[in-house]
Amino acid sequence: MLATRALRLVGKRAISTSACLSGGHGVAKVEAYTLPHYSDRQDNPLPDIRYVQNLSPEQQSLKEKEMGSWSTLSNEEKIALYRISFKQSFAEMNSGSSDWKTVVGGIFFFLGLTGLLVFWQRKFVYGPVPHTFEPEFKAKELQRMLDMRMNPVEGLASKWDYENKEWKK
């Protein structure tokens, strides 16, 4: 910022001579990211600079006309002036896109792929489950749970009919 202001005030030729005088290194190169930039943002409605920096001759004449009374400007000219200053209108910048379809499709695809991988892993990588998963063992577990009256109010044992030795209807 200071470098650009210094350049504008003193003039290019004067800077180069003073740079030569001060040891040949001169002013540091002005990086683009240090200068004011344009961005279409909802929370920053008036950017630091115009969108179109290098005006064509018609645009320049339009800018001259803008100096006068605005009632002489036609609607197309007003729109052209807007487009010089801004890249996208609020409606354009806030409009949604169809990207979500790609994203959701990609999510489902990779979920499916992962499911196939997990299934393959279960079948070909893992060994057999412990003997405690066998149906007879599970039946003995359930009988023991009923015997010790687990959750007799609202849970498991409340659903078993102890007189008739069957599940309650």
Partner 1 sequence: MSLQKPLMRGLLSKRLKFHTPIAFSLALLVALGFKYIVAEPRKKAYADFYKQYDPVKEYAAMREAGVFQSVRPVGK
- For residues 27 and 7, the answer to whether their CB atoms sit within 8 Å is yes
Q: Is 45 helix (H, G, I), strand (E, B) or coil?
A: coil
Q: Per CB under 8 A, does 83 bind partner 1?
A: no
28 Cβ neighbours under 8 A, 6+ residues apart: 3
Residue where the block lists tokens 């990211």: 33
Residue whose token pair is 């078993």:
160
Q: How far apart are CA 18 and CA 111, in angstroms?
A: 66
State the minimum distance, in angstroms, from the CB of residue 75 to partner 1: 7
Q: Backbone phi, then psi, for 167, in 5-degree steps?
A: -70, 145
Least spacing, CB of residue 154 vs partner 1, in Å: 5
User: Binding-site residue total for partner 1 (CB under 8 A)?
Assistant: 10
Three-state DSSP state, 161: strand
Interface positions, 102-141, toward partner 1 (CB under 8 A): none
Q: Between 33 and 167, name the residue whose CB sits nearer to partner 1.
A: 167
Out of 44, 54, 71, 75, the only residue in the binding site for partner 1 (CB under 8 A) is 75
Interface pick for partner 1 out of 17, 147, 156, 161 (rule CB under 8 A): 147
Instruction: State whether residue 160 is helix, strand or coil.
Output: strand
> Which range binds partner 1 by CB under 8 A, 43-51, 56-64, 132-140, 142-150?
142-150
Tokens of 129: 């489950």
| Single residue of 116, 126, 148, 164 touching partner 1 by CB under 8 A | 148
Q: Which stretch binds partner 1 (CB under 8 A): 5-13, 103-111, 121-129, 146-154?
A: 146-154
Work out the angle between the directed axes of helices 75-85 and 57-66 (0-180°, nearest 10): 110
Question: x/- string (CB under 8 A) for partner 1, residues 149-168?
Answer: x--xxx---x---x------
**Interaction site with partner 1 (CB under 8 A):** 75, 144, 147-149, 152-154, 158, 162
